[in-house]
Chains A and B, each alone.
Chain A
Amino acid sequence: MRYAMAVDTKKCVGCSDCVVACQTENDVPVGFCRDWVVEVTDGTYPQLETEIRSERCNHCDNSPCVRCCPTGASHYAEGGVVLVTHDECIGCGACIASCPYDARYPHPDGYVDKCTFCLHNRVEQGLDPACVSVCPTKCMYFGDLDDPNSPVSKVLKTRKFKTLIPEAGTKPQLYFLI
C-alpha cells in the first residue's frame, strides 16, 4: 500500500478551503497550518500563466525528516504516510530544517506538527482526507497507488503531472496535474 495525493492545478482556484478544513478537522491552532496555497505567475501582460497549487507534506518515500529525527518520533506509518509521534518529539527542529518543502511547523505545545493525510481520523475509516473532501473544485485526488482503481492512480494514468523539487531525491508522493 502506498498512499498518495494528486492536485489538479487546472482546477484549483486557491480558495484555501483545504487550509481551513484541515485546521478545524485536526485542531491546528489558528495561525498555523498543515497545508497552504502557492500561486506562481509567469510571463508579461497579457501573455501570462498562473499556476495555483494546494501544497502540504509530500510524504516522501525517502524522507530526510525521518532520517534526521534523533528520537524516532518522525516515522513511516501505514501506506508510507510520514507521521510524528507527538509524545516522542522533543521539538529539536532538525526535521523542519531538513524538509525541502517547508512542510513542518513547531506546534505551540512543544512538538513538531505536519500533514498526516488524515490517516487515523479519516482515511482509516474509509474517508478522504479533510482537504480532499471539502474542496469545492474537487481538484484533489487521494488513494493507494498500489490499487489501480484508486482515484489517484486513475488520474495519474491519464494526466500529465509533476512533483516539486524532484532533484532533492526525496521521492515525493504529492503530484501536481499540469
Chain B
Amino acid sequence: MKSRRDFIKISALGLGATAVAAGSAQALFGSPLFGNKNGNTESGTPLRRTPTYCEICFWQCAGWVYKDGDGNIKKITGNDDDQHCNGRFCPRGTGGIGQYMDEDRIKTPLIRTKVNGKDTFKEASWDEALDFIANKMQQIKRDHGPECVALFTHGSGGAHMGHMLKAYGSGTIAAPSFAQCRGPREVGFLTTFGDIIYSPERIDIRDTRCMVLIGSHLGENMHNGQVQEMSDAIDKGATIITVDPRFSTAASKSKFWLPIKPATDLALLLSWINVLIENGWYDKEYVEKYTVGFDALKEHVKTFTPEWAYGITTIDPNIIRETAREMFNASPSVIINPGRHVTWYGDDTQRMRAVAILTALLGSWGRRGGYYKPEKLHLPNFPVPPFPEPQRKPTDAYKGIYPLANEVVANGLCDATIPSVDRECNLRAWIVNGTNLLAAFPNQKNTLAAIDALELLVVIDTMPIELTGYADVVLPECTYLERYDMIRNSGHRQPNIALRMPAAEPKYNTKPASWIAKELAGKLGLAAYFPWKDMEELLDWQFKELGTSLEEMKRIGVKNYPREVDDLYFTPGEDVVFNTTSGKIELYSSDMESEGFDPMPVYTPHEEPPEGFYRLNYGRAPMHTFSRTANNPNLTALMNENVLWVNPKVAKLWNLTAGQRVKLKNQDNVISTFSIKVRVTERIRWDSVYMVHGFGHNNTKLTRAHGRGINDTELITRVKVDPVMGGTGMRGNFVTFITEFNEDGKEAEA
C-alpha cells in the first residue's frame, strides 16, 4: 500500500541548492588568550579559543574550541575545571569538529510538496518554512487542541523548542532517553531509595573498592567521567566484576568476568542477595537503621541459592559466592553499577530493583566509594508570562498504563499517534529535534504507522537522518560549534555551570534552535514568551543571577560553586528520611505492590533463541554516539561500519569466514536491508551475536554512512514493554544468517 508520506531522499533534491550564507557580519569570535599554554599549531601559528560544551553525546563535557588566525576551527579539547571531563575529551568530543565540517549537513529549509503526483522537497526560505509550520500548528490547535502537538527531543535544542511549545499550550514533550534507555533504573531506584541516579550518574567510582558491571560496557560505552574514574579505580587496585555474555573491554580489565547466559541477569542478582543474607555479609547497622522489608526479603530469596542460579545463568556457584564475598569485603565502597541503557527484557525495573536492593544491603548508598548526593544550582528563569495550562497532560496519551513512569514515555506518545477509537486524544503533529526516532524506537513498522497518521512532521537536525525523509518540513539546525545554548547546569560533586558559545558563524543556511524557537513563537503570536533580544541577553541575565556574567563565562567556560551543605555522603549515624512511602529504603516496595507489581523482584525465564537463531545483542563503540555520528568524517575514519561478532563454533557451523558479508533475518522474517561483515571472535558466546548500534543508514545523502553495516533497530521488531514504566525491552530478538543475497538490497535467500 502506498503511504501518504513517501520517503523522500534529500539527495534527489539537492540540485541547484543555493546555500545562503548567514547574513550578519560578525567580528572575530573569541579573543587571544594570554598564558594559554595549549595554543600552537604544529606550524607554530597561535590559536584562539572559545568555550563550549559538547553535544556529541549527553555527558556534555565542557571544553575549548581552538581556531587559527583565519577563524578555522582546528581542535577541541577539554576544560580542566570541568567535572564531567577533567580536561580530557573522549574521541567523539575530540572528533566533534567533524560534525561541523561534514559536507553532507542539511543546508537549507525544505518543505514537502508534490510535483507530477510525486512527493518531493522544495527548498524554502526560513520565513516560508516557519510560516508553513505556524499555520499548521494554529489549525491543529483549533481543531484538536494544542496538546496534540508533541516534541521529541534528545539534545540541547529541546530546551528552546520546549519553551516554544509550552507557550503554545502543549506540555507533550518526551525524550527517548527515558523509556528507550535509563528509565527502568530511575524507577527501580526511585521505588527503593526515593531518588534517581541522574546523569552524570551519582556513582563514586573514583573512590570505590569494587565495581560490578552488569551488561554495562564502560570503555566501549564512553561516558567520559565514568571511564576516567574506572581507570583511576583500577590504578588504586579496585576490583572490577563484569557480568556479560560478551568478553567486553571492561571484562578484559576485570578480576572476575562472569560469562552469563543472556537474559538471566536477574537470577544472578537474586542469588547474590541470597548469599549476602544467608552469610550475614551485609551492613546490619545500615539495614536496621535505614531499610524496611528485610525479613520479607530474607524469606523471599531463601530458595535463590547459587546452585539454583547456576542452572539458569551457567555461572559457577563458587564464583557467585566468591564475587558476593568480594563485594561485601569492599562495602560500603562498592558500586553495583546501575548502567544506562537498561531496557532489555521487559522486566527491567524489577532487575534494577534487585540492583538497588543489593546496593542497600551493602550499605553503599550515601557512602564514599558508593553513591554520593549530587548538588545542582537553582537556575532562575528569565521572567516570562505564565504558560497556558494544557487541558491534557502528556500522560493522558497512555492513560492507565505505565503507572510508575516518572518521565514521559516517548513510545507511549508514538503509540497515541496511531488513530484508535479508544483514545480520546490522538497526537497530530510531531516536532523532532536531535533524535532519529526510526533508530531510537524499536519496531519501525509501528513508528512508521504513527508517522503516516501525522498531519505535520517537523524534523530539526544537522544531518539528513532517515527521519527527515518522512518530514513535511525539514529545518537545518546549525551544529553546537556554531551557536549559543542554554546554560549547562549539572548536578555533580560540586554544583557547576558551563557556557556554550559559537566558535564560528553557522555554515550554509542553518540556524540555532534558539533562533528557530523564537521566530516560530513570533509567527504564532507568542513573542511575549521570548522577551530577550538574543541569547546573549538571556544568558547574561541568568549568569548575573548566579553571580557571574556572560563576559566572565566566555573567559572561563566552566564555573564550579561550593556545596551549600557538606552532605556528599551520610555522616555516621545520621538520621536520613528517604523520599519513599515509608520514609525508609524499601527492600519491599510498597509502591510496586500498590500498583499490582511484585513488591520484590521475581525471576521469570525469557524466551530463548529457536534452533539456528542467535540472540541479537547490541551496544556501543567508543568513537560513536547512537546513529548521530555515523557520517562524521573524523569518526568514520576510525570506524565506518559495524561488524557482526560471531563465536568461532557458530562460524564453523555456518561455514562463515572472517570478513564475509552476511544479511540477518529475525524471528519475524524481517531481513536486514544491508549486509554486515562477520567478525569471528572468541569474545562472544555461542548463543548470541553482537553488533554496534547506529549503522546501516538508508539515506544516500549520508555519503559515508549509507549502506554501511546493519541497522539493529530494523531487526528489533519484538518489543517487551515494561508494564511498570513503559520501557521498551529490545533484547528478545533472535537472528539467523543469510549467506547468499543480492547486494542491491532484496533478500534472495538460498
**Interface residues in chain A, defined as those with a beta carbon under 8 Å from any beta carbon in chain B:** 10-11, 13-17, 19-21, 23-27, 30-31, 33, 41, 43-46, 48-52, 116, 120-122, 125-127, 133-139
Contact = CB atoms under 8 A, between A and B. Distances in A.
Interface in B669-707: 681-686
Given A16-B623, A45-B684, 10 more contacts: A11-B253, A13-B219, A13-B231, A16-B638, A20-B623, A44-B682, A45-B682, A50-B249, A52-B252, A127-B38
Given A19-B638, A24-B76, A25-B42, A136 B253 contact: no
Nearest to B91: A17
Contacts of A44: 682
Contacts of A17: 88-91, 94, 622
Nearest to B74: A24
- Max chain A CB contacts within 10 Å: which of B44, B219, B633? B219
B60 to A, nearest CB: 15
B75 A25 contact: yes
Given A17-B91, A20-B94, A11 B234 contact: yes
B249 A13 contact: yes
Nearest to B45: A121
Contacts of A14: 219, 249, 622
Q: In the complex, which of the residues A43, A46, A120 has the most CB atoms of chain B within 10 Å of its own CB atom?
A: A46
B228 interface: yes
Contacts of B257: 46, 48
Given A11-B234, A136-B224, A23 B247 contact: no
Contacts of B98: 30
A19 B227 contact: no
B10 interface: no
B247 A11 contact: no
A142 B583 CA distance: 52
Interface residues of B, number: 54
A64 B651 CA distance: 41
B91 A24 contact: no
Nearest to B225: A136
Name which of A45, A49, A138 has the most chain B CB atoms within 10 A of its CB: A45
B77 interface: yes
Contacts of A27: 41-43, 74
A13 B88 CA distance: 15
Contacts of B635: 20
Contact of A16 (B91, B218, B685): B91
B442 interface: no
A126 B227 CA distance: 27
A164 B220 CA distance: 25
A20 B91 contact: yes
B622 A15 contact: yes
Contacts of A21: 75, 77, 94
Which label, helix, strand, loop or mixed, suits the secondary structure of the A interface? Answer: loop
Contact of B91 (A15, A52, A125): A15
B259 interface: yes
Contact of A20 (B95, B231, B249): B95
User: Which 6 A-B pairs have CB atoms at the shortest separation, nearest pair first?
Assistant: A13-B219, A15-B622, A137-B231, A24-B75, A50-B252, A17-B91
30 contacts: A10-B253, A11-B253, A13-B219, A13-B622, A14-B622, A15-B219, A15-B222, A15-B227, A17-B90, A17-B94, A17-B622, A20-B95, A20-B623, A21-B75, A21-B77, A24-B75, A24-B76, A24-B95, A24-B97, A30-B634, A41-B682, A45-B682, A45-B684, A45-B686, A46-B257, A48-B682, A126-B37, A134-B94, A136-B89, A137-B230
A23 B634 contact: yes
Contact of A45 (B91, B219, B247): B247
Given A21-B94, A50-B249, A52-B249, A138 B89 contact: no
Contacts of B637: 23, 30-31, 33
B634 A20 contact: yes
Contacts of B683: 41, 45, 48, 50
Nearest to A135: B88
Interface string B56-90: 00000000000000000011111000000001111
Contacts of A120: 42, 44
B23 to A, nearest CB: 30
Nearest to A51: B252
A125 B40 contact: yes
Given A20-B91, A136-B88, A45 B622 contact: no
A136 B247 contact: no
A72 to B, nearest CB: 21
A176 B353 CA distance: 42
A14 B639 CA distance: 12
Contacts of A19: 91, 638
Given A11-B253, A48-B252, A121 B44 contact: yes
Contacts of B40: 121-122, 125
A78 to B, nearest CB: 16
Contacts of B230: 137
A138 B40 CA distance: 23
